[in-house]
Structure 1
Amino acid sequence: MERQTLAGKIEHIYEVMRAEGLTILDYVEQLSWMLFLKILSDREEERRLAAEVKGEKYTPIIRKEYLFRNWPKRFGVRTLKKVKDVRAFYGFIVNELWPYLSSLSGNDELNKVREIFSNVSLKIHDPHNLLEIFQNIEDIRVDGEDTQIMSQLYEETLMLMGREGGAAGEYYTPRPIVRFMVEIVDPKIGERVFDPFCGSGGFLVEAYNHMYKQAKTAEDLRKLEKAFHGQELKSQPYLIANMNTLLHGVNAKLVKTDTFSEDLHSPGELYDVILTNPPFGGKIKESNLENLIVRTRSTELAALQYVMKKVKPGGRVGIVLPDGVLSNVTKAYVKVRKELLQKNSVFAIVSLPQGAFANISPKGGSGPKTSLLFFERGKPTKEIWYYELVPPNGKNYTRANPVKDEDLKDAIQKFEAWKKYLETDDEEWKKKALSENSWVVGIDDVKERDYDLSARNPNRKLMIEYPAPEEIIASIEKKEKRISELLAEIKSVLGEKP
């Protein structure tokens, strides 16, 4: 289903919830569990058909009569739109379905379903409203390649909250950028993947998709069962991450916790791969400051310290950072970047243009200016490959023109050449990694600019357009007039004659 079509459906459903008296903070919780049941049913049908083709027997996660697609049969109709007895439908949800789902147990999947329905409650009390919402959900179709519909649900709600003045300032990573980061970090079977700020679980789902393609044996699949780990502080994204991973067959170990509450002086469990987009613009709690190696209130800088300590030696990290983390000249930022370069090999930095986050920015506008930083722990940085993503056809990225997978193909091709150079030390591969949009910076040059890691493309000439002389004169005259007015006002306040 097209994003705009789904967004329209979501907004209509929220209108019904508004009439029910719910607040916008309730919307995402209620719609998420409802949509989860629909998508779970669709996924189960796909798996049943796949097993049938192979001549195998398939047993669904939940009993057949409780799958969303089979609900109309209970009322003798083919679709929920034909259901007439709204009270009977409401009674089925409240008295049969909910107790069943919240009592499941026996394996990881069933336990996760039980956890979901034990931690939410039905807040729609009008039977007509509940049926209308499910009738709208029945129309939602999920394409086979649309792996992130639960993430999109949360993103659309964040944007709606922003328009209504209640956004939390969160930015969820656009799907093409998630897939690109997974491709660059390239997690392998046998490695454990961690997202310490997992949000709706997008990185874990895409990492699973990437690694699943590598599976050749039953042992490989068993390793995947133990490979994915995530942490999230907020209740709603944590709930959605559980649903999102379950729907995509990811047996993720998710924990609801404040990641910054962990003492980095004794970091505990380490991971082979970390992929994450930390919270931007937040403030570290006073009680957590002692947990950091370098004290800072900045959540972004604290997150960089966190992943530096939580990745295994030889492990790899891909992290989204606002550009300020790469260039801020204050002592704490410089100190963290210096340690990053001395103890880790920063092998790639990809500069994203303003607008790359526009389509999921909750408060509208172009979203934050960010870069993607990739490093391997355990050896110092010698050279950094940079890539500047430029929107195609000279158009800026906006909500109506979001970043696409194909926009990042050139970056992937150039990086593959850079990776070959790192593996072979063959200068020919290095040449292939360079272009108008990509370049290499040596560590000595980085030290000379006080460990500033921001992208400065040497291949682009600085273009300055000066206004016409008459425009300059008019601007000066306007400013002089305003200065005279302000001076007159000040003299008036002081009791002087203008």
Structure 2
Amino acid sequence: MDRQALANKIEHIYEIMRAEGLSILDYVEQLSWMLFLKVLSDREEERKLEAELRGEKYRPIIKNEYLFHNWPKRFDVDSLKKVKNSKEFYEFIANELWPYLSSLGGSDELNKIGEIFSSISLKIRDPHNLLEIFQNIEEISIDEEDSHIMSQLYEETLMLMGREGGAAGEYYTPRPIVRFMVKVVDPKIGETVFDPFCGSAGFLVEAYKHMYKKVKTAEDLRTLEKSFYGQELKPPAYLIANMNTLLHGVNAKLVKTDTFSEDIHNPSRLYDVILTNPPFGGKVTKANRDNLPVKTSKTELAALQYVMKKVKPGGRVGIVLPDGVLSNVTKPYVKVRKELLEKNNVFAIVSLPQGVFANISPKGGTGPKASLLFFERGKPTREIWYYELLPPNGKNYTRANPIKDEDLSDALNKFEAWRKYLETGDEEWKGKALSENSWVVSIDEIKERDYDLSARNPNRKQVIEYPAPEEIIASLEEKERRISELLAEIRSVLGEKP
């Protein structure tokens, strides 16, 4: 099944859900558990075949009669297309399958399935609609070639969720950005990987793929199974994270919690690698502000403090941050950046252009202006490698022109040269890391800027550029937001209520 055919099939499913009065968030949730059951069934068939080839008896994870490919048998047909009694099918799903799945437990995998189906509900009310949806899902073939296409479509659906969530500052991270960050941080077998704001668990899935390529022994594989951890507050995203990791074979330990509820003055478990994109522009509850070394209501500044405390000495962090965190001149921001530089080696900052988040920006906007910040805990910063990412061919990133993996290839090549310089001290590698879009700034210069970490490309030619109207609007909105933040900070200092 080619991409377009698959897209048409899923769009038809969404039309049915739309007729049921469901929201985009509901689409993602309902499609997720349906696809999950389909893929779980397909994987059970593969595992059964592998066991037979080894001459072993295979026991399925869930009872045979509840596997997706066996559903038609209970209706004495060989395909769901031939099921005539939609009411009987609905009763099977709602009154038999669902209670069984929600009661599962006894192992990590079974516990996760049980938790998923006990925390959500069947939102399709019309029996005919439910049967028609599953008839369409039955026709989706997810073989090795189709799995990549399905993954793309699934991610695009998650982006729809991101557009709705974006209004509250929760932006889905484009996969090319995720893969780039994973390559820069380069998690290794034996290291723990943590995302404290995991959303759909994209960072954990991509980190797993990256590390799986390095597996050489059975012991490596067993170690990998214990390497991934995530936290998420919102139930829909937590549900999708569980399904996403299960479908990709990632044995992640996920917890539904408010990350900021942990007192990081005395943090609990520390991790080797942290990869995350925290919520932008949200509010830390008043009760949770005491958990932070530098009190703030801003989620992005709180998130930076959190990862600074939760990574092990020698561990590495890659975090997406709005540019305001790098340049805000108010005391809390400056204080956090000063500690960041004094106690951590900020080895790279990649400045993203406006529009990278346009694919998931709410209300058709260009999305936030953000940067990728990378650091290693335990030694002070001496110099920072910067890279300014520019869209190819002078075209702005938009929903119709999203960022691609190849757009980050030069940044990755230049960073690899910078990594070689950090490892060897060879000035020749440092020279290879520099270009029109990349440069190095010393800590002394950063201190002179009062710890401003924003990217200021010294190589850019000074030309007059006339921004598009939507960029002007976005810039004005961002300035208005910053003014509001400054006023709130001033009121706080004066003891006034916001």
Report if TM-score (shorter chain) is over 0.5. yes
Q: C-alpha separation between the residues in 1 aligned to 2:224 and 2:67? A: 27
Deviation at 1:134, TM superposition (A): 1.7
Q: Is 387-396 or 204-213 further displaced after alignment? A: 387-396
Q: C-alpha separation between the residues in 2 aligned to 1:193 and 1:103? A: 30
Q: Is 339-348 or 388-397 further displaced after alignment? A: 388-397
Q: C-alpha separation between the residues in 1 aligned to 2:115 and 2:448? A: 53
Q: C-alpha separation between the residues in 2 aligned to 1:284 and 1:19? A: 37
Q: C-alpha separation between the residues in 2 aligned to 1:369 and 1:5? A: 35
Matched positions, count: 463
Correspondence for 2:419: 419
Correspondence for 1:228: 228
Deviation at 1:285, TM superposition (A): 0.8
Deviation at 1:10, TM superposition (A): 4.9
Correspondence for 1:157: 161
Q: Structure 2: which 5+ residue stretches go unaligned?
A: 468-498
Q: Structure 1: which 5+ residue stretches go unaligned?
A: 468-498
Deviation at 1:49, TM superposition (A): 5.5
CA contact (8 A) 2:319 2:372 kept: yes
Deviations 1:178-205 (A, max 9, x none): 1111111011111111100000111111
Correspondence for 2:472: none
CA contact (8 A) 2:13 2:136 kept: yes
Deviations 1:317-342 (A, max 9, x none): 00000111111111111111111001
Q: C-alpha separation between the residues in 1 aligned to 2:187 and 2:210? A: 8
Deviation at 1:174, TM superposition (A): 0.6
Q: C-alpha separation between the residues in 2 aligned to 1:95 and 1:290? A: 46
The letter of the residue matching 1:156 is L
CA contact (8 A) 1:148 1:244 kept: no
> SS of 1:116's equivalent?
helix
Q: C-alpha separation between the residues in 1 aligned to 2:5 and 2:366? A: 22
Judged with a 3 Å threshold, the aligned counterparts in structure 2 of structure 1 residues 329 and 37 are, in CA distance, closer, same or farther, namely: same
Correspondence for 2:348: 348
Correspondence for 1:121: 121
Judged with a 3 Å threshold, the aligned counterparts in structure 2 of structure 1 residues 35 and 377 are, in CA distance, closer, same or farther, namely: same
Deviations 1:440-465 (A, max 9, x none): 11111111111111111111111126
Q: C-alpha separation between the residues in 1 aligned to 2:370 and 2:208? A: 25
CA contact (8 A) 2:168 2:281 kept: no
> SS of 2:182's equivalent?
helix
Judged with a 3 Å threshold, the aligned counterparts in structure 2 of structure 1 residues 76 and 462 are, in CA distance, closer, same or farther, namely: farther
State how 1:392-471 maps to structure 2 within 5 Å.
392-464=392-464
Greater C-alpha radius of gyration: 1
The letter of the residue matching 2:242 is N
CA contact (8 A) 1:172 1:360 kept: yes
Judged with a 3 Å threshold, the aligned counterparts in structure 2 of structure 1 residues 349 and 53 are, in CA distance, closer, same or farther, namely: farther
Q: Is 271-280 or 57-66 further displaced after alignment? A: 57-66
Q: C-alpha separation between the residues in 2 aligned to 1:295 and 1:10? A: 45
> Is 2:210 the counterpart of 1:206?
no
CA contact (8 A) 1:170 1:362 kept: no
The letter of the residue matching 1:80 is L
Q: C-alpha separation between the residues in 2 aligned to 1:36 and 1:466? A: 48
Q: C-alpha separation between the residues in 1 aligned to 2:35 and 2:387? A: 38
CA contact (8 A) 2:388 2:437 kept: yes
CA contact (8 A) 1:197 1:231 kept: yes
Q: C-alpha separation between the residues in 2 aligned to 1:114 and 1:20? A: 26
Q: C-alpha separation between the residues in 2 aligned to 1:360 and 1:465? A: 26
Among 135, 145, 150, the alignment partner of 2:148 is: 145
> SS of 1:379's equivalent?
coil
Deviation at 1:9, TM superposition (A): 4.9
Structure 1 vs Structure 2: percent identity of aligned residues?
A: 79
Correspondence for 2:479: none
Q: Is 246-255 or 273-282 further displaced after alignment? A: 246-255
> Is 2:260 the counterpart of 1:260?
yes
The letter of the residue matching 1:20 is E
> SS of 1:420's equivalent?
helix
The letter of the residue matching 1:226 is K
Q: C-alpha separation between the residues in 2 aligned to 1:404 and 1:220? A: 31
Judged with a 3 Å threshold, the aligned counterparts in structure 2 of structure 1 residues 104 and 309 are, in CA distance, closer, same or farther, namely: same
Q: C-alpha separation between the residues in 1 aligned to 2:366 and 2:346? A: 28
Deviation at 1:155, TM superposition (A): 2.1
CA contact (8 A) 2:25 2:161 kept: no
Q: C-alpha separation between the residues in 2 aligned to 1:356 and 1:251? A: 30
Judged with a 3 Å threshold, the aligned counterparts in structure 2 of structure 1 residues 71 and 298 are, in CA distance, closer, same or farther, namely: same
Correspondence for 1:178: 178
Q: C-alpha separation between the residues in 2 aligned to 1:6 and 1:287? A: 47
> Is 2:38 the counterpart of 1:38?
yes
TM-score between both structures, scaled by the size of structure 2: 0.86
CA contact (8 A) 1:150 1:200 kept: no
Deviation at 1:39, TM superposition (A): 2.7
